[in-house]
Chains A and B, each alone.
Chain A
Amino acid sequence: MIPITLTVNGERVTRHVEPRRHLIDFLRLDLGLTGSHAGCEHGVCGACTVRVDGEIVRGCLVLAASLDGAEVTTIEGLSDSGEVADLQAEFVARNAAQCGFCTPGMVMTAADILRHHPQASRAEIREHLSGNYCRCTGYQAIVDAVEATLAQRRQEAGR
Chain B
Amino acid sequence: MKWPAIGYIRARSLDDLWEAQRTHGAAAQVLAGGQTLLATLAFRLSEPGVLVDITRIPELRGVSLAGGALRIGALTRHAELARDPLVARHAPLFAAAAPHIAHPAIRNRGTIGGSLAYADPAAELPACAVALDATLHLLSARGERRVKAEGFFTGLLSTLLEPGEIIAAVEVAPASPAQRTAILEVARRSGDYAMAGIAAALELDATGRVAAPRLAFFGVGDRPVLANRANVALAGRVLDAQAIAAAAEALGDDLDPPADLHGPPEMKRHLARVLLRRALTQFLPAKEMAA
> Which residues of A are interface residues toward B (Cβ below 8 A)?
2, 18-20, 22, 25, 41-43, 46, 49, 52, 55-58, 60-63, 65-66, 68, 109, 112, 126-128, 130-132
Contacts and interface: CB of A to CB of B under 8 A. Distances in A.
Given A41-B1, A41-B2, A63 B8 contact: yes
A136 B60 CA distance: 43
What is the predominant secondary structure among interface residues of chain A facing chain B? mixed
**The 10 A-B residue pairs with the shortest CB-CB distance in the complex, in nearest-first order:** A131-B103, A19-B8, A130-B190, A20-B3, A55-B108, A42-B39, A42-B42, A56-B105, A65-B8, A61-B38
Contacts of A127: 190
A112 B104 CA distance: 9
Contact of A19 (B1, B34, B51, B190): B51
On chain B, which size bracket covers the interface?
20 to 34
Given A2-B8, A22-B38, A62-B34, A130 B109 contact: no
Given A20-B4, A66-B53, A46 B42 contact: no
B88 interface: no
Contacts of A19: 5-8, 51
B79 A55 contact: yes
Interface in B229-284: none
B3 A22 contact: yes
A137 to B, nearest CB: 14
Given A20-B5, A57-B108, A63-B34, A131 B191 contact: yes
What is the predominant secondary structure among interface residues of chain B facing chain A? loop
Contacts of A25: 2
B42 A41 contact: yes
16 contacts: A22-B3, A25-B2, A41-B1, A42-B39, A60-B38, A61-B34, A61-B38, A62-B34, A63-B34, A66-B34, A66-B55, A127-B190, A130-B189, A131-B102, A131-B106, A132-B103
A42 B189 CA distance: 18
A53 to B, nearest CB: 9
B109 A61 contact: yes
B106 to A, nearest CB: 6
Contact of A58 (B1, B35, B53): B35
Contacts of B6: 19-20
B10 A68 contact: yes
A46 B1 CA distance: 16
Given A20-B5, A57-B108, A130-B189, 16 more contacts: A2-B10, A20-B4, A41-B1, A43-B38, A52-B108, A56-B104, A61-B109, A62-B109, A63-B8, A63-B31, A63-B34, A65-B8, A65-B53, A66-B31, A66-B53, A66-B55
A67 to B, nearest CB: 10
B13 to A, nearest CB: 16
A61 B35 contact: yes
